[in-house]
Amino acid sequence: MRLREKTAILTGAGSGIGTATVRKFLEEGARVFATDIVGASLEAMVREFPSLATLAGDVSRREDVEAVVAAAVEKWGRIDILVNSAGITARSLGPDASLEERWDRVMAVNVKGSMLMGHTVVEAMRASGGGGAIVNVASVMGFTGYPTALPFSDGFNPYPSSKGAVAQLTRDMGVRFAAEGIRVNAVAPGFVHTALTANVTGNPEILETLERLHPVGRMGTAEEVANVIAFLASDEASFVNGAVWMVDGGYSAQ
Protein backbone atom coordinates (compact mmCIF):
# COMPACT_ATOMS: atom_id res chain seq x y z
CA MET A 1 0.00 0.00 0.00
CA ARG A 2 1.78 3.10 -1.26
CA LEU A 3 0.25 5.53 1.29
CA ARG A 4 0.54 3.38 4.41
CA GLU A 5 0.67 5.49 7.60
CA LYS A 6 0.43 8.74 5.62
CA THR A 7 -2.01 11.33 6.93
CA ALA A 8 -4.06 13.19 4.34
CA ILE A 9 -6.62 15.98 4.13
CA LEU A 10 -8.99 15.76 1.17
CA THR A 11 -11.31 18.64 0.31
CA GLY A 12 -14.47 18.28 -1.75
CA ALA A 13 -14.57 14.77 -0.37
CA GLY A 14 -18.33 14.34 -0.47
CA SER A 15 -18.74 13.73 -4.18
CA GLY A 16 -17.11 12.97 -7.51
CA ILE A 17 -13.34 12.94 -7.72
CA GLY A 18 -13.08 13.76 -4.03
CA THR A 19 -15.05 10.69 -2.95
CA ALA A 20 -13.16 8.44 -5.36
CA THR A 21 -9.88 9.76 -3.97
CA VAL A 22 -10.97 9.11 -0.39
CA ARG A 23 -11.67 5.49 -1.32
CA LYS A 24 -8.38 5.14 -3.16
CA PHE A 25 -6.36 6.65 -0.31
CA LEU A 26 -7.98 4.36 2.25
CA GLU A 27 -7.23 1.38 0.02
CA GLU A 28 -3.62 2.55 -0.14
CA GLY A 29 -3.35 2.67 3.66
CA ALA A 30 -3.68 6.40 4.32
CA ARG A 31 -5.35 7.96 7.34
CA VAL A 32 -7.85 10.36 5.81
CA PHE A 33 -9.42 13.56 7.09
CA ALA A 34 -12.26 14.44 4.73
CA THR A 35 -13.92 17.83 4.42
CA ASP A 36 -16.81 19.09 2.32
CA ILE A 37 -19.27 21.95 2.48
CA VAL A 38 -22.14 19.43 2.60
CA GLY A 39 -22.07 17.81 6.02
CA ALA A 40 -24.63 15.15 5.12
CA SER A 41 -22.36 13.71 2.45
CA LEU A 42 -19.57 13.32 5.00
CA GLU A 43 -21.92 11.55 7.40
CA ALA A 44 -22.79 9.07 4.67
CA MET A 45 -19.10 8.43 4.01
CA VAL A 46 -18.39 7.76 7.68
CA ARG A 47 -21.10 5.10 7.66
CA GLU A 48 -19.25 3.45 4.78
CA PHE A 49 -15.75 4.08 6.15
CA PRO A 50 -15.80 4.20 9.98
CA SER A 51 -12.08 5.08 10.17
CA LEU A 52 -12.65 8.32 8.28
CA ALA A 53 -12.27 11.59 10.19
CA THR A 54 -14.43 14.46 8.93
CA LEU A 55 -15.34 18.09 9.45
CA ALA A 56 -17.70 20.12 7.27
CA GLY A 57 -16.45 23.47 6.05
CA ASP A 58 -16.22 25.99 3.22
CA VAL A 59 -12.71 26.14 1.75
CA SER A 60 -13.22 29.77 0.73
CA ARG A 61 -13.49 30.78 4.41
CA ARG A 62 -10.20 31.04 6.28
CA GLU A 63 -11.77 30.18 9.63
CA ASP A 64 -13.19 26.94 8.21
CA VAL A 65 -9.88 26.03 6.62
CA GLU A 66 -7.95 26.64 9.82
CA ALA A 67 -10.46 24.56 11.78
CA VAL A 68 -10.05 21.60 9.41
CA VAL A 69 -6.26 21.72 9.47
CA ALA A 70 -6.15 22.14 13.26
CA ALA A 71 -8.49 19.17 13.73
CA ALA A 72 -6.34 16.97 11.48
CA VAL A 73 -3.16 17.96 13.31
CA GLU A 74 -4.81 17.37 16.69
CA LYS A 75 -5.90 13.90 15.60
CA TRP A 76 -2.67 12.70 14.01
CA GLY A 77 0.05 15.17 14.93
CA ARG A 78 1.01 15.93 11.38
CA ILE A 79 -0.21 16.28 7.79
CA ASP A 80 1.64 14.47 5.03
CA ILE A 81 -0.72 15.06 2.10
CA LEU A 82 -3.28 17.61 0.97
CA VAL A 83 -5.60 17.05 -1.98
CA ASN A 84 -7.49 20.15 -3.09
CA SER A 85 -10.48 18.58 -4.83
CA ALA A 86 -13.18 21.07 -3.81
CA GLY A 87 -14.51 22.83 -6.88
CA ILE A 88 -17.64 24.16 -8.54
CA THR A 89 -18.74 25.32 -11.97
CA ALA A 90 -20.86 28.31 -12.93
CA ARG A 91 -23.76 25.88 -13.35
CA SER A 92 -23.58 25.13 -9.63
CA LEU A 93 -25.05 28.55 -8.83
CA GLY A 94 -28.29 28.12 -10.73
CA PRO A 95 -29.83 30.11 -13.58
CA ASP A 96 -30.68 33.24 -11.58
CA ALA A 97 -27.12 34.09 -10.51
CA SER A 98 -25.58 37.17 -12.13
CA LEU A 99 -22.34 37.14 -14.09
CA GLU A 100 -20.48 38.67 -11.15
CA GLU A 101 -22.03 36.29 -8.63
CA ARG A 102 -20.97 33.31 -10.75
CA TRP A 103 -17.47 34.69 -11.26
CA ASP A 104 -16.88 35.59 -7.61
CA ARG A 105 -18.13 32.29 -6.20
CA VAL A 106 -16.29 30.05 -8.67
CA MET A 107 -13.07 31.96 -8.10
CA ALA A 108 -13.58 31.88 -4.33
CA VAL A 109 -13.98 28.10 -4.18
CA ASN A 110 -11.65 26.94 -6.95
CA VAL A 111 -8.78 29.41 -6.58
CA LYS A 112 -9.00 31.04 -3.16
CA GLY A 113 -9.98 27.73 -1.59
CA SER A 114 -6.95 25.94 -3.03
CA MET A 115 -4.71 28.82 -1.94
CA LEU A 116 -6.07 28.96 1.62
CA MET A 117 -5.83 25.21 2.10
CA GLY A 118 -2.34 25.15 0.63
CA HIS A 119 -1.14 28.08 2.73
CA THR A 120 -2.48 26.63 5.96
CA VAL A 121 -1.24 23.10 5.31
CA VAL A 122 2.24 24.28 4.33
CA GLU A 123 2.49 26.01 7.71
CA ALA A 124 1.38 22.79 9.43
CA MET A 125 3.90 20.74 7.44
CA ARG A 126 6.67 23.13 8.46
CA ALA A 127 5.63 22.95 12.11
CA SER A 128 5.88 19.16 12.12
CA GLY A 129 9.33 19.08 10.59
CA GLY A 130 8.71 19.77 6.92
CA GLY A 131 8.06 17.62 3.90
CA GLY A 132 4.85 16.50 2.27
CA ALA A 133 2.86 16.41 -0.92
CA ILE A 134 0.05 18.62 -2.21
CA VAL A 135 -2.09 17.69 -5.20
CA ASN A 136 -4.42 20.29 -6.68
CA VAL A 137 -7.28 19.47 -9.04
CA ALA A 138 -7.18 21.70 -12.09
CA SER A 139 -8.92 20.87 -15.40
CA VAL A 140 -8.24 20.52 -19.08
CA MET A 141 -10.42 23.63 -19.34
CA GLY A 142 -7.61 25.55 -17.66
CA PHE A 143 -5.63 25.12 -20.87
CA THR A 144 -8.32 25.32 -23.55
CA GLY A 145 -11.46 27.29 -24.20
CA TYR A 146 -14.85 25.64 -24.10
CA PRO A 147 -15.66 24.11 -27.51
CA THR A 148 -18.24 26.11 -29.42
CA ALA A 149 -20.12 22.85 -29.97
CA LEU A 150 -21.06 22.92 -26.28
CA PRO A 151 -23.46 25.42 -24.67
CA PHE A 152 -21.24 26.01 -21.65
CA SER A 153 -19.79 29.46 -22.18
CA ASP A 154 -20.54 32.90 -23.56
CA GLY A 155 -16.85 33.75 -23.39
CA PHE A 156 -17.07 34.85 -19.76
CA ASN A 157 -17.42 31.53 -17.96
CA PRO A 158 -15.24 31.69 -14.82
CA TYR A 159 -14.44 27.97 -14.72
CA PRO A 160 -11.62 27.86 -17.32
CA SER A 161 -9.97 30.92 -15.78
CA SER A 162 -10.24 29.47 -12.29
CA LYS A 163 -8.64 26.20 -13.29
CA GLY A 164 -5.89 27.98 -15.22
CA ALA A 165 -5.15 29.85 -12.00
CA VAL A 166 -5.00 26.58 -10.06
CA ALA A 167 -2.42 25.27 -12.53
CA GLN A 168 -0.28 28.38 -12.12
CA LEU A 169 -0.65 28.27 -8.33
CA THR A 170 0.64 24.70 -8.51
CA ARG A 171 3.75 25.71 -10.44
CA ASP A 172 4.54 28.65 -8.17
CA MET A 173 4.09 26.61 -4.99
CA GLY A 174 6.08 23.73 -6.42
CA VAL A 175 9.09 25.96 -7.14
CA ARG A 176 8.92 27.79 -3.82
CA PHE A 177 8.55 24.82 -1.48
CA ALA A 178 10.72 22.21 -3.21
CA ALA A 179 13.71 23.02 -0.99
CA GLU A 180 11.56 22.26 2.05
CA GLY A 181 10.66 18.81 0.76
CA ILE A 182 7.09 19.80 -0.08
CA ARG A 183 6.10 18.69 -3.56
CA VAL A 184 3.15 20.40 -5.25
CA ASN A 185 1.53 18.94 -8.36
CA ALA A 186 -1.86 18.96 -10.04
CA VAL A 187 -4.09 16.80 -12.18
CA ALA A 188 -6.03 18.30 -15.06
CA PRO A 189 -8.97 16.00 -15.82
CA GLY A 190 -10.91 16.04 -19.03
CA PHE A 191 -14.68 15.71 -18.86
CA VAL A 192 -15.46 13.16 -16.14
CA HIS A 193 -18.70 11.55 -15.04
CA THR A 194 -19.44 13.28 -11.71
CA ALA A 195 -22.24 15.27 -10.10
CA LEU A 196 -20.81 18.40 -11.76
CA THR A 197 -21.42 16.98 -15.23
CA ALA A 198 -24.56 14.93 -14.53
CA ASN A 199 -26.85 17.85 -15.30
CA VAL A 200 -25.52 18.06 -18.86
CA THR A 201 -24.64 14.45 -19.72
CA GLY A 202 -28.31 13.57 -19.41
CA ASN A 203 -28.72 15.28 -22.76
CA PRO A 204 -27.84 12.61 -25.37
CA GLU A 205 -26.55 15.16 -27.88
CA ILE A 206 -24.25 16.82 -25.36
CA LEU A 207 -23.03 13.44 -24.11
CA GLU A 208 -22.22 12.31 -27.64
CA THR A 209 -20.33 15.55 -28.28
CA LEU A 210 -18.35 15.21 -25.05
CA GLU A 211 -17.40 11.63 -25.85
CA ARG A 212 -16.36 12.56 -29.37
CA LEU A 213 -14.12 15.37 -28.10
CA HIS A 214 -11.90 12.85 -26.30
CA PRO A 215 -9.68 10.75 -28.62
CA VAL A 216 -10.33 7.68 -26.48
CA GLY A 217 -14.01 8.03 -27.41
CA ARG A 218 -15.48 8.41 -23.94
CA MET A 219 -15.54 10.55 -20.83
CA GLY A 220 -13.39 9.66 -17.86
CA THR A 221 -14.30 8.29 -14.45
CA ALA A 222 -13.55 9.75 -11.04
CA GLU A 223 -11.63 6.60 -10.18
CA GLU A 224 -9.25 7.11 -13.10
CA VAL A 225 -8.40 10.58 -11.81
CA ALA A 226 -8.06 9.32 -8.23
CA ASN A 227 -5.47 6.77 -9.38
CA VAL A 228 -3.22 9.54 -10.69
CA ILE A 229 -3.75 11.67 -7.59
CA ALA A 230 -2.66 8.74 -5.42
CA PHE A 231 0.52 8.33 -7.46
CA LEU A 232 1.39 12.03 -7.25
CA ALA A 233 0.81 12.00 -3.49
CA SER A 234 3.01 8.94 -2.99
CA ASP A 235 6.76 8.61 -2.59
CA GLU A 236 6.82 6.95 -6.01
CA ALA A 237 6.47 10.46 -7.46
CA SER A 238 9.41 11.82 -5.45
CA PHE A 239 10.95 13.56 -8.51
CA VAL A 240 7.65 15.00 -9.79
CA ASN A 241 7.15 18.59 -8.70
CA GLY A 242 5.42 21.69 -10.06
CA ALA A 243 3.81 19.55 -12.74
CA VAL A 244 0.27 19.44 -14.11
CA TRP A 245 -0.67 15.95 -15.25
CA MET A 246 -3.28 15.79 -17.97
CA VAL A 247 -5.82 13.04 -17.21
CA ASP A 248 -8.00 13.74 -20.21
CA GLY A 249 -8.05 10.81 -22.62
CA GLY A 250 -5.96 12.80 -25.09
CA TYR A 251 -8.27 15.84 -25.17
CA SER A 252 -5.46 18.38 -24.77
CA ALA A 253 -3.16 16.61 -27.26
CA GLN A 254 -5.32 17.51 -30.26
Kindly list the catalytic residues.
Answer: 159
Neighbours of 251 (CB within 10 A): 24
